[in-house]
């Protein structure tokens, strides 16, 4: 465990070194993130100058949700997406051999070897937004709620990691699935708002097919006082099960890997 944490720290340091070479690029990313956030806030302004609530969520509750949306965008961009992209590339090129021969758990190494450090901007902005929204809900805030929020965030991140690992593992059979990523980001767009705004079957799909509800709506709802015991139970069940499933699927996929062109 300790060894794994040290390795992650090492990968993060490597990420910083890689990024430090492109300082203007970092500045540009900062500007882009701020522009995106400004756009989201303007959107919020437009919505709530016309209505009092969005499927029962008030302005500050949606603000918390926007924060979680940005935070999760950051989490996916920081470690999940870049590593899964690498896995797909490695499988195609046959260079996954270099991962498998490392003296460490292959799933761990394949999942954390690249860390795109500038994505921490989105994490910071997301935390800022959620905190700001949360402070305005202070009247009903409690330590329990914040803890539930953090727990749900962790469970959400676990679910989305497992989801991506399953997608990446599918590369063992289909080789070329980089388009899957685009499909994902297309659907991800729907997570900008609470899933409660959609029709029941869309809501179902966004919960169990592409788990945006676990990722964004449930954690945000935990802080905003919208997530009940049902969602907590579901997340407690779904997160470990998908993680275990993804892990088993990864091992099963590895047995199918023949180092095609290596």
Partner 1 sequence: MRLMPSAIAACTRFSLAAMLQYRGEIILWAVWGVIYPAVAMAMWGAALHGAPQEGGIKGFGQRDFAAYFLLTMVVGHLCTAWDIYEMGYLVRSGLLSPKLLRPILPLWTSAADNAAYKILTLAILMPIWLGVAWFVRPVFTTGWAHLLLGVPALLLAATLSFLWGYVVSLVAFWTTRTDAVAESWFGASLMLGGRMAPLALLPLPLQWAAAALPFKWIIWFPCELLMGRLSVAQAWAGLAWQAAWTVLGLVVFRLFWSAALKRYSAVGA
- Binding site residues, partner 1, CB under 8 A: 24-25, 28-29, 31-32, 35-36, 38-39, 42-43, 45-47, 49-56, 179, 182-183, 186-187, 189-190, 192-193, 196-199, 202
Provide CB contacts within 8 A for 227, sequence distance 6+.
148, 152, 218, 219, 221
Closest distance of CB 178 from partner 1, Å:
9
Q: Which CB sits closer to partner 1, 19 or 107?
A: 19
Q: Which CB sits closer to partner 1, 45 or 98?
A: 45
Q: Which CB sits closer to partner 1, 202 or 244?
A: 202
Closest distance of CB 53 from partner 1, Å:
3
Closest distance of CB 124 from partner 1, Å:
18
Q: Which CB sits closer to partner 1, 191 or 211?
A: 191
In angstroms, the CA 10 to CA 20 distance is 15
Closest distance of CB 207 from partner 1, Å:
15
Which residue stretches of the chain are H helix?
Answer: 2-20, 23-48, 59-75, 81-93, 97-100, 106-112, 120-136, 143-169, 171-174, 178-188, 200-204, 212, 218-224, 229-256
Provide CB contacts within 8 A for 36, sequence distance 6+.
none
Q: Which CB sits closer to partner 1, 21 or 46?
A: 46
Provide CB contacts within 8 A for 101, sequence distance 6+.
none
* Residue among 118, 130, 90 nearest 19 (CA): 118
Closest distance of CB 158 from partner 1, Å:
26
């Amino acid at each position: 465990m300790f060894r794994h944490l040290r390795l992650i720290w090492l990968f993060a340091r490597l990420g910083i070194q890689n990024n430090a070479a492109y300082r203007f690029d970092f500045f540009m990313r900062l500007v882009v993130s701020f522009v995106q956030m400004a756009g989201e806030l303007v959107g919020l302004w437009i919505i709530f100058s016309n209505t009092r609530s969005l499927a029962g969520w008030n302005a500050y509750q949606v603000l918390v949700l926007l924060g979680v949306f940005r935070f999760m965008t950051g989490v996916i961009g920081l470690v999940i997406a870049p590593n899964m992209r690498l896995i797909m590339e490695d499988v195609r090129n046959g260079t996954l051999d270099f991962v498998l021969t490392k003296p460490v758990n292959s799933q761990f190494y394949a999942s954390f070897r690249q860390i795109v450090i500038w994505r921490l901007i989105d994490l910071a902005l997301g935390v800022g937004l959620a905190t700001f929204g949360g402070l305005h809900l202070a009247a009903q805030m409690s330590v329990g709620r914040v803890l539930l929020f953090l727990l749900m965030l962790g469970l959400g991140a676990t679910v989305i990691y497992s989801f991506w690992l399953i997608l990446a593992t599918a590369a063992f059979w289909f080789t070329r699935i980089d388009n899957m990523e685009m499909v994902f980001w297309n659907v991800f767009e729907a997570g900008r708002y609470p899933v409660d705004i959609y029709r029941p079957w869309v809501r179902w799909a966004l919960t169990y097919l592409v788990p945006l509800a676990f990722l964004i709506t449930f954690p945000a709802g935990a802080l905003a006082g919208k997530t009940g015991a049902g969602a907590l139970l579901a997340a407690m069940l779904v997160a470990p099960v998908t993680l275990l499933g993804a892990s088993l699927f990864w091992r099963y996929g590895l047995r199918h890997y023949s180092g095609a062109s290596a």
